[in-house]
Chains A and B, each alone.
Chain A
Amino acid sequence: AQTVTQSQPEMSVQEAETVTLSCTYDTSESDYYLFWYKQPPSRQMILVIRQEAYKQQNATENRFSVNFQKAAKSFSLKISDSQLGDAAMYFCAYRSTPQGGSEKLVFGKGTKLTVNP
């Protein structure tokens, strides 16, 4: 079974600075999806960024980018120019590629990000 590990329970960053959240995973599959979700105090799960394993190019979404190292099974999230609204729990998640069916998301334990003004 696949597992996702987030080794940083909490992180903090100064407003306008850059922070990197770590995520590693374990799988024997060659094709899969990786995600970063944000959960603010409202507890609504918000998709931040998505990476397809067969794509070597790292995904980017405005101030959010990932460093995907497939061989090392590492998927870190970099937040540039941090804003107060970025404060939230961040979950790294893994999903197998659907093969005629539907596959669940496997979540890490999360990293609580605090943004200091």
Chain B
Amino acid sequence: GAVVSQHPSWVICKSGTSVKIECRSLDFQATTMFWYRQFPKQSLMLMATSNEGSKATYEQGVEKDKFLINHASLTLSTLTVTSAHPEDSSFYICSAEGPTNEKLFFGSGTQLSVL
């Protein structure tokens, strides 16, 4: 099946700094990628939909200036958490739409801890 690579797997940063998370489709082109956030023992909540070459679409309540999404190529989307605070600590997961548009493939996730 299609492979989605997400890096880093975990990151620890100081409050006020910015962190970039990368999501790559390794063997297929993904015009659309999705970014989810998951708190401990909870479900995945969609943050935004990333479209190659255009602005991301954010879900209600998600701060677009805090969670910057860039989808500059057909294989790479990035999520930048700007001026991170402890409440931003969470597990972030990306997914990419597969070649047939019928399945979504997930990255392995990034655990962000903000001190």
Contact residues in A for B34 (Cβ distance below 8 Å) = 104-105
A92 to B86, CA, bound (A): 30
Give the residue name and chain of the B residue nearest to A98 (CB): B101
A101 to B32, CA, bound (A): 9
Taking a contact as CB atoms under 8 Å apart, the answer to whether B43 and A108 are in contact is yes
Contact residues in B for A104 (Cβ distance below 8 Å) = 34, 46, 49
Taking a contact as CB atoms under 8 Å apart, the answer to whether A45 and B43 are in contact is no
Binds A, one of B14-22, B73-81, B91-99: B91-99
Using CB atoms and an 8 Å cutoff, list the residues of chain A in contact with chain B. 33, 42-45, 47, 50, 91, 95, 98, 101-102, 104-110
Using CB atoms and an 8 Å cutoff, list the residues of chain B in contact with chain A. 31-32, 34, 38, 42-46, 49, 51, 91, 93, 95, 97, 101-104, 106, 108-109
